[in-house]
A and B are shown apart, each in its own frame.
Chain A
Amino acid sequence: MWTWFHKLSSPPHFYRVAGKMVPWFAWPAALLIVAALVGGLVLAPRDYQQGDAYRIMYVHAPSAWMSLMVYVVMAVSAAIGLIWRIKLAHAVAAGCAPIGATFTFAALATGALWGQPMWGTWWVWDARLTSELILLFLYLGYIALRSAIDDPQRADRASAVLAIVGVINVPIIHYSVVWWNTLHQAPSVTKMGAPTISLPMLIPLLMMLLGFTLYFVAVLLTRVRGEVLRRERNAGWIREGLAQ
């Protein structure tokens, strides 16, 4: 097991293996997402409180979940890269950032779309939405730091430190925001909560979450392959591969 992992950290090997794995993630992801969309938008019953508007939850909640999960994956691989000096781990962290930022933005956008039919406003300072917004700032800061540093080694390691600091702060920020929100909650502002979940509602939600996860893996593998090509562009194995 350890030898497999160690072998995987070699760029040419990773490039080949990842290339073969992408379709195995991409196709199931596409199928699951389509099925979940059909299940959620069409087949699931209407909510007695929110009507059809709640259906945006099928995209909003999994996006929010993914935004958090991707940050953790980013921080963990950055830490691995920093501690064990594995460059591929840094490439994985770099690949995660734009994907995570996109999921965060999707969560915010769908949150706004949800808010409009519910309360007539495009934005509410709801605890979860505000947390997501701060998470977006963390992602953008990470991306900004990476692009500001020219030296790739320094960029990798500095952004790894930032990611680790960020991941420690995420729970602190989240609970501060939740606390802040409960303080100032006027009775008319409703929580952006999901309706009481019944099984026909739950299944499309889980399918969407799984679909998003597989999608994330497929896109991440593709991105990291691109990173590997960029970083190793002067290496022999690439020229040999091209010659074939």
Chain B
Amino acid sequence: MSGTSSLAAGQLLFQRDLRLAWRRWDQVTDPLVFFLMVTTLFPLSLSPELSRLRDVAPGVLWVAALLSSLLAADSLLKSDAQDGTLEQYVLSGQPLTLLLLAKTAAHWILSGLPLVLISPLVASALGVPGHALGVVMMSLVLGTLTLSLIGAIGAALTIGLRRGSLLLALLVLPLAMPLLIFGARAVELAIIGEAAAGPLYLLTAMLVLSMTLAPLTAAAAVRISID
């Protein structure tokens, strides 16, 4: 038997998580439904007029995406921590950072990507004009990826704690505020027809920073939490 390379181990984990989700796909739709419900709250509480909704659309879309991501973040490590699989990752001798990156990638496909795909529909329902939908999707791709990465840190710190999901939200929300500022601003610029490149670049920069630092931090947090 030959030893498994780190990359192959990451791939194995990635595929396993996707296969597990396939067998319980109703769990995958929960964050998506939450996203839809939260966005629906705003027309109900503000006004059915699209022209008024358009003004708040950037904020509504982004707040709803943020809250759905927070809800989903809890599930990244919960089941692995409960059935002892998480310890086996640590004992496998493979770099924990890479394994967590693989898990986060799978998790994003299951929780972040659906949001991105449905966002044009939801944005239009909030009065966002067609020409801005591309920026909506782009900003949400960047934002939800970063949120998945930051959420992994929160999930790793709160493993096994009672009310862990609420605590996770409290810890991650302040860190997510810059994302909200730039993401909503990008959509706002796109709606009024101006170039949204500036905020999008900043979102990309935050994503790159998270991609390099978050899995590392989450790995350290996992080792601390399974003590």
Whether, in the assembled complex, A140 has its beta carbon less than 8 Å from a beta carbon of chain B, the answer is yes
**Shortest Cβ distance from residue A195 to the other chain B in the assembled complex, whole angstroms:** 29
* Cβ–Cβ contact A144 & B174, under 8 A: no
* Cβ–Cβ contact A173 & B170, under 8 A: no
* Cβ–Cβ contact B225 & A172, under 8 A: no
Q: How far is the CA of A134 from the CA of B163 in the complex (A)?
A: 22
* Cβ–Cβ contact A134 & B174, under 8 A: yes
Instruction: Give chain A's interface secondary structure class.
Output: helix
Within 8 A of A (CB), among B144-187: 153, 157-158, 161-164, 167, 170-171, 173-175, 177-178, 181-182, 185
**Shortest Cβ distance from residue A122 to the other chain B in the assembled complex, whole angstroms:** 22
Whether, in the assembled complex, A169 has its beta carbon less than 8 Å from a beta carbon of chain B, the answer is yes
Whether, in the assembled complex, B49 has its beta carbon less than 8 Å from a beta carbon of chain A, the answer is no
Find chain B residues with CB under 8 A from A165 CB: 153, 175, 217
**Shortest Cβ distance from residue A79 to the other chain B in the assembled complex, whole angstroms:** 12
Q: How far is the CA of A144 from the CA of B161 in the complex (A)?
A: 11
Whether, in the assembled complex, B56 has its beta carbon less than 8 Å from a beta carbon of chain A, the answer is no
B contact residues, total (Cβ < 8 Å): 26
Q: How far is the CA of A138 from the CA of B175 in the complex (A)?
A: 8
**Shortest Cβ distance from residue B184 to the other chain A in the assembled complex, whole angstroms:** 9
Please choose the segment from A42-50, A155-163, A186-194, A229-237 that sits at the chain B interface, where 4 or more of its residues have CB less than 8 A away.
A155-163
**A137-B173, A169-B174, A173-B174 given as contacts; is B227 within 8 A of A161 (CB)?**
no
Whether, in the assembled complex, A149 has its beta carbon less than 8 Å from a beta carbon of chain B, the answer is yes
* Cβ–Cβ contact B177 & A161, under 8 A: no
Kindly report which residue of chain A lies nearest to residue B169, judged by CB atoms.
A141
Kindly report which residue of chain A lies nearest to residue B218, judged by CB atoms.
A161
Q: How far is the CA of A179 from the CA of B181 in the complex (A)?
A: 9
Whether, in the assembled complex, B118 has its beta carbon less than 8 Å from a beta carbon of chain A, the answer is no
Which of B171, B217, B224 makes the CB contact (< 8 A) with A157? B224
**Shortest Cβ distance from residue B148 to the other chain A in the assembled complex, whole angstroms:** 16
* Cβ–Cβ contact A154 & B163, under 8 A: no
**Shortest Cβ distance from residue B213 to the other chain A in the assembled complex, whole angstroms:** 8
* Cβ–Cβ contact A145 & B174, under 8 A: no
Whether, in the assembled complex, A180 has its beta carbon less than 8 Å from a beta carbon of chain B, the answer is yes
**A161-B220, A162-B157 given as contacts; is B167 within 8 A of A154 (CB)?**
no
Residue-wise interface mask of A (104-134) relative to B, using a CB-CB cutoff of 8 A (1 in contact, 0 not): 0000000000000000000000000000001
Q: How far is the CA of A140 from the CA of B171 in the complex (A)?
A: 9
**Shortest Cβ distance from residue B27 to the other chain A in the assembled complex, whole angstroms:** 25
Kindly report which residue of chain B lies nearest to residue A170, judged by CB atoms.
B174
**Shortest Cβ distance from residue A182 to the other chain B in the assembled complex, whole angstroms:** 12
Which of the four size classes fits the interface of chain A?
A: 20 to 34
* Cβ–Cβ contact B227 & A153, under 8 A: yes
**Shortest Cβ distance from residue B212 to the other chain A in the assembled complex, whole angstroms:** 12
Residue-wise interface mask of B (202-227) relative to A, using a CB-CB cutoff of 8 A (1 in contact, 0 not): 00001000000100010011001101
Q: How far is the CA of A154 from the CA of B171 in the complex (A)?
A: 17
Find chain B residues with CB under 8 A from A158 CB: 157, 221, 224-225
Find chain B residues with CB under 8 A from A138 CB: 174
Q: How far is the CA of A149 from the CA of B161 in the complex (A)?
A: 7
Find chain A residues with CB under 8 A from B162 CB: 148
Q: How far is the CA of A162 from the CA of B163 in the complex (A)?
A: 18
**Shortest Cβ distance from residue B58 to the other chain A in the assembled complex, whole angstroms:** 12
* Cβ–Cβ contact A162 & B171, under 8 A: yes
Find chain A residues with CB under 8 A from B227 CB: 151, 153-154, 157
Whether, in the assembled complex, A177 has its beta carbon less than 8 Å from a beta carbon of chain B, the answer is yes
Find chain B residues with CB under 8 A from A180 CB: 181, 185
**Shortest Cβ distance from residue A1 to the other chain B in the assembled complex, whole angstroms:** 30
Q: How far is the CA of A141 from the CA of B170 in the complex (A)?
A: 6
Interface centre among A149, A165, A173, A183 (most CB of B within 10 A): A165
Find chain A residues with CB under 8 A from B157 CB: 145, 158, 161-162
Question: Which 9 A/B pairs are nearest by Cβ-Cβ distance?
Answer: A176-B178, A157-B224, A137-B174, A180-B181, A141-B171, A176-B181, A148-B161, A141-B170, A158-B157
Residues of B bordering A, CB below 8 Å: 153, 157-158, 161-164, 167, 170-171, 173-175, 177-178, 181-182, 185, 206, 213, 217, 220-221, 224-225, 227
* 12 intermolecular pairs with C-beta atoms under 8 Å apart: A134-B177, A141-B174, A144-B171, A145-B158, A148-B163, A157-B224, A158-B224, A158-B225, A161-B221, A165-B175, A173-B177, A176-B182
Given contacts A148-B158, A173-B178, A176-B177, list 7 more A-B pairs with CB under 8 A: A134-B177, A144-B167, A145-B157, A153-B227, A154-B225, A172-B178, A173-B177
